Copies of this chain bind each other. A is one copy, B any other.
Amino acid sequence: MVGEVPYPYDPGAFPPFAVTADVALFTIGNNALQALLIERGREPFLGARALPGGFVREDEDLRDAAARELAEETGLHAGPWYLEQLAAYGSPDRDPRMRVVTVAFWAVCASLPASPRGGGDAAAANLLPVEDIERGAVRLAFDHARIVADAVERIRSSMEHTALAAGFCPPEFTIRQLREVYETVWGVSLDPGNFQRYVRESGVFEPSLALSAPGRDDTRSEPGRPASLWTARRTESGRPAKAVRRLARPGGKQARNR
């Protein structure tokens, strides 16, 4: 074998690219699906919104870069989020300055500090309703509108067969909280009774034993029977895993064109 660099490439044999990692972080706030965006403080796209992101470092894994950018932008470290890669976007003209390939990630989390101000990065970060973005009411930089659209589609689809919806909730949650996540992200209204059955029998979630539900009456003051708490079941693949499908209720919100 050779030394430091066993089989060096001819330095001129390949075109150099810049590689960035961008993250579309979603959360639910104000009864709507929200995306974390920053306001660009310089050209190009000065004043437009953009996804948190930046150059991948020399010896940094793509995923680590995405997590780092997210942490820098939200101020939250040891992120309480669920992060997954979406795809690479590398159209030759996506950045007017030079050839940049970005690896996009999507993430979901339960909540965010009221004002997730940039923890040192240039501009301020804030949450904007996905509905506004889908309507084209938000000016997004580069191809970030497409990235957000693709991420939302992936999330909506993934929620049908996995416990992803739990990523929008605290570690333990009530069935109602979970149902409201589905209703908000999918833009539909679900039947509470049938949804209860789904959560109970799908194998995707499981009741939170420990300081479970009925009996933990500490300082609650809402009327009605207290709800039990649930968690996402540890991912044991190799299971059927039922889907949520059409639990919609008759007079509910108008479903999007899925």
Contact = CB atoms under 8 A, between A and B. Distances in A.
A136 interface: no
Contacts of A103: 88, 90, 101
A250 interface: no
A88 B88 CA distance: 6
Contacts of A15: 55-58
A8 B98 CA distance: 7
Contacts of A91: 61-62
Given A55-B14, A61-B91, A90-B56, A6 B238 contact: no
B85 A87 contact: yes
A59 B14 contact: no
A7 B44 contact: yes
A89 B87 CA distance: 10
B58 A97 contact: no
Given A60-B92, A92-B61, A103-B88, A18 B14 contact: yes
A80 B17 CA distance: 30
Interface in A3-18: 5-9, 13-18
A43 interface: yes
B90 A87 contact: no
Given A15-B55, A56-B17, A58-B99, A43 B7 contact: yes
Nearest to A88: B88
Nearest to A5: B97
A107 to B, nearest CB: 16
Contacts of A234: none
Nearest to A42: B7
Contacts of A55: 13-15
Contact of A19 (B5, B60, B90): B90
15 contacts: A6-B96, A6-B97, A7-B43, A9-B18, A13-B55, A15-B56, A15-B57, A16-B16, A17-B18, A19-B90, A19-B101, A56-B90, A62-B91, A87-B87, A88-B103
Given A6-B97, A9-B98, A14-B18, 13 more contacts: A5-B96, A7-B97, A9-B18, A14-B55, A15-B55, A15-B57, A16-B18, A59-B92, A61-B91, A61-B92, A87-B87, A88-B88, A90-B103
Sorted nearest first, the 4 A-B pairs with minimum C-beta distance are A16-B16, A88-B88, A17-B19, A62-B90
